[in-house]
């Protein structure tokens, strides 16, 4: 165990999480989708290198979408990613609101 420390170094978080502003944006979309009957449940995971917000249509099934935050990719392709049910990347970018627009298309319906 030489060269490694049992405690996280100062300034380096032991896990990644969504901050209050990011959660406000995500929960705003979540509330609209619940009201529209599209989504029903969610789960949040804060891991060492990634924070994940998973969206479910029903409890105890695979997530419809995963919204992930990867701070290490901040200077590359962007730290926010939206994955579909099959694991396909739907949108990636630097701005959370812009990335989440790919999910808001379900709310747009024609009015007769």
Q: Whole-model pTM?
A: 0.78
What's the Cα-to-Cα distance from 73 to each of 77, 98, 102, rounded to whole Å? 6, 16, 20
Query: Which phi-psi region, left, alpha or beta, contains residue 64 (left: φ > 0; alpha: ψ -120 to 50)?
Result: alpha
What is the C-alpha separation between 25 and 31, in angstroms, rounded?
Answer: 10
- Residue 55: its pLDDT value, please? 92
| Tens of pLDDT, residues 42-95 | 999 888 889 999 999 876 678 899 999 988 888 888 889 999 888 899 999 999
Extract the tokens encoding 15. 């896990």
| Tens of pLDDT, residues 1-22 | 444 445 555 655 578 888 899 9
82 forms bridges with which residues in the sheet? 67, 91
- Residue 28: its pLDDT value, please? 92
Cβ neighbors of 7 (< 8 A, separation 6 or more) are none
């Amino acid at each position: 165990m030489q060269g490694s420390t049992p405690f996280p170094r100062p300034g380096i978080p032991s896990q990644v999480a969504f901050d209050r502003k990011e959660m406000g944006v995500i929960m705003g979309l979540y509330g609209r989708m619940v009201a529209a009957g599209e989504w029903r449940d969610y789960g949040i995971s804060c891991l060492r290198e990634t924070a994940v917000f998973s969206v479910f249509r029903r409890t105890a099934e695979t997530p419809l979408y995963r919204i992930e935050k990867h701070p290490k990719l901040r200077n590359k392709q962007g730290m926010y990613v939206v994955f579909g049910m099959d694991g396909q990347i739907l949108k990636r970018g630097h701005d959370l609101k812009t990335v989440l627009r790919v999910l808001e298309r379900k709310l747009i319906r024609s009015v007769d």
